[in-house]
Structure 1
Amino acid sequence: MLLIVGVGACAPTVRPAGAPVATAMLSADAFIATDGTQLPLQSWGNLENPDAVILALHGMGDYANAFMELGEQLGPTGIAVYAFDQRGFGRSPTRPFWAGVASMVNDASDVLGLLRARYRDRPIYLLGNSMGGAVAMITAASRGHLMDGLVLVAPAVWNRDMMPWYQTAPLAIISHSLPWLPLSGKGLDIWPSDNIEMLRRLSRDPHMMSSVRVDMIAGIADLMDLARLRAGDISVPTLLVSGAKDQVIPPEAVAALDRVFVAAHMTDYHRCLYPAGYHMLLRDLNGPLVIEDIGRWIRRANRAGDGGYAFSCGGS
């Protein structure tokens, strides 16, 4: 009885977008959403006349600067990169609260629409990393007309059906009884990357989140469930990249997503699996190779037009 009372008294906190009060806009350093919320924006490359444009969505605990390496490497090749701090993360005003799947997908869709209006004759790609990959999948499944292609980098697709019960049961209870409880990865002996210097730098970055509320973890679990459910509805050209040494999202979860895409007979789908890759593929020691593959996939897609081109991973 006490547990039931506690659950009813402490529901998970969600801070979704508010009612629309204005038109969404992009400034030089912010995405101003329709509810007036300003989400910090970063960009790289030739923003005036790029050959292609990427909107990149970051992972849990991260923020827009997650794509610095991607932007600095692809920018000089003619591919502009945009990224914003998603609600609840980085420098966003609602940090550290979960915004809900609908708000995150709507934000991504609005920025895609703004980029489409700005670059009317240029291809627009949506790239999602980890948690951002799950957001990107749902966006592509429901609003594929806003993009010319989808890039998934170690997407968070470890849905509850694949998790052992001893992980899902406590999460369901704690997220309702103690939603404010902060959780971190300390003591789990999980290495997200082999780039130790980069990890040390991130540990000193105040915009990174070293711990998150447990109700945010529950929200991300909901997000992964929905992303996996909608995977079969994706029809846009898609590139899936992942690492065999990923200790955050089990490789078997990504392999299951790969099977869904293959079974769907997508006309333009490619997968790159990097034997030495960890979860933070774009910032691993092998990151430049992964980024080069992403750039080649986008450039070849643009030249081929119909997506019926040959593509191989690993810089070949």
Structure 2
Amino acid sequence: MQSNMIVGAAIHHIEKALSWFVGLGFAFWLAGCAPTVIPAGDPIASVRMTENAFMASDGASLPLQYWGPVDDPDAVILGLHGFGDYANAFDEAGTALASENIALFAYDQRGFGRTATRPFWPGTQSLINDASDMLVILRMRYPGRPIYLMGDSMGGAVAIVTAASRPQWMDGVILVAPAVWNRDMMPWYQTAPLSMISNSLPWLPLSGQGLDIWPSDNIEMLRRLSRDPYMMKSVRVDMVAGLADLMDLAQQRGGDIDIPTLLMSGQQDQVIPPGAVAAIADNMRASNSDQSTICLYRDGYHMLLRDLNGPTVIGDIGRWIKGGGTARDFSCRVN
């Protein structure tokens, strides 16, 4: 069962990294080795979407999945999955929202799932550029239809920065348990070894084994994911460092969002500390109160869309979209 703790728990590898660092000694650190980042290449082609792939501007083919009515939907969602996950993370949500005539598209982000650059971090800017390009494709394909960007965990961090910097390509943003635990909120004994190890032993594999963290209360779902070959059961430490950089930026940019926003978090989340989510929620209320909706689910864990309470969360997403993505007269079914 411990093997699937990588799902949604990668942030806590920082503490595990400390024990590895002490055990291996400073000699390795002194040797030095730069983190490996494989970003998108130079633009060489027009972005486009095929039935099974999002073709990025550098020619990379990112596996694509979609659910719902692709010909005449009432609304369209672009889903960005979490750390260690892939596009199939939205299977439950896409299937349920299809009954509301809402189409959901999701691709494997660079470095994850079925992409050619797995298991290397692509860099924050590449993730943001890919999301923006895919939004442009959807906007062109569905003129006149509302387009929403939905990010889950790590994908939520990407969505925050994308919404803050390129709001023109979306009508609203949905943040599901966003990964916003930045370094300023972490104790020094987590941030210091992460920085040192990512520059000395960037290849060091980290897994969720031994972590007493439950990303969800849906045990059958967790068992199924533990057998999924496209889920990452371990990650390089420099990927965790890249995630930390992304979370830093997301926490900084949360107050810059000026479009309808739905922020969803579970009160049983053992991955992202409540204070981190509360901080970005406060920033959003202060800068965008008329367009921000905050939903806190008493029975929700980190994997909100796939928890046992997932149908309630997904139902709220559908109702929020059907209501035009506004906070007015909308209330979450927190149960």
1:85 maps to amino acid: D
Select which of 149, 160, 164 maps to 1:141: 164
Q: Distance in 1 between matches of 2:119 and 2:195?
A: 19
Distance 1:264 1:69, change over 3 A: same
Count of residues in correspondence between the two structures: 310
**Structure 2 unaligned residues grouped into runs of 5+:** 1-25
User: Does residue 313 of structure 1 match 2:332?
Assistant: yes
Say if 2:257 and 2:288, in contact at 8 Å, map to a contact too: no
Paired residue for 2:314?
291
Q: Distance in 2 between matches of 1:229 and 1:315?
A: 28
Select which of 215, 223, 238 maps to 2:238: 215
188-197 or 260-269, which deviates more: 260-269
Say if 1:237 and 1:266, in contact at 8 Å, map to a contact too: no
Select which of 67, 84, 108 maps to 1:44: 67
Post-superposition CA distance 1:137-170 (Å, at most 9, x none) = 0000100000000000000000000001111011
Aligned runs of 1:211-290 on 2, under 5 Å?
211-290=234-313
Paired residue for 1:28?
51
Select which of 150, 153, 164 maps to 2:187: 164
1:91 maps to amino acid: R
Paired residue for 2:81?
58
Q: Distance in 1 between matches of 2:52 and 2:222?
A: 25
258-267 or 187-196, which deviates more: 258-267
Q: Distance in 2 between matches of 1:310 and 1:269?
A: 12
Q: Distance in 2 between matches of 1:142 and 1:120?
A: 22
Q: Distance in 1 between matches of 2:237 and 2:334?
A: 40
Q: CA deviation at 1:251?
A: 1.4
Q: Distance in 2 between matches of 1:280 and 1:315?
A: 15
User: Does residue 92 of structure 1 match 2:111?
Assistant: no
Say if 2:29 and 2:199, in contact at 8 Å, map to a contact too: no
Q: Distance in 1 between matches of 2:334 and 2:314?
A: 10
Say if 1:129 and 1:154, in contact at 8 Å, map to a contact too: yes
Q: State the identity as a percent.
A: 65
Distance 1:210 1:308, change over 3 A: closer
Partner of 2:66, secondary structure, is strand
Q: CA deviation at 1:181?
A: 0.3
Alignment root-mean-square deviation, CA: 1.3
1:309 maps to amino acid: R
1:218 maps to amino acid: A
Say if 2:78 and 2:105, in contact at 8 Å, map to a contact too: yes
Q: Distance in 2 between matches of 1:274 and 1:309?
A: 19
Paired residue for 2:324?
301
Partner of 2:106, secondary structure, is strand
Say if 1:55 and 1:127, in contact at 8 Å, map to a contact too: yes
Q: CA deviation at 1:315?
A: 7.2
Post-superposition CA distance 1:197-239 (Å, at most 9, x none) = 0000000000000110000000000000001111111101000
Paired residue for 1:6?
31
Q: CA deviation at 1:265?
A: 3.6
Partner of 1:301, secondary structure, is coil
Paired residue for 2:8?
none
- TM-score (norm. length: structure 1): 0.96
Post-superposition CA distance 1:264-286 (Å, at most 9, x none) = 14321111100110000000000
1:39 maps to amino acid: L
- TM-score (norm. length: structure 2): 0.90
Paired residue for 1:188?
211
1:163 maps to amino acid: M
Q: CA deviation at 1:308?
A: 6.1
Q: CA deviation at 1:4?
A: 6.7
Q: Distance in 2 between matches of 1:266 and 1:94?
A: 39
Partner of 2:99, secondary structure, is helix
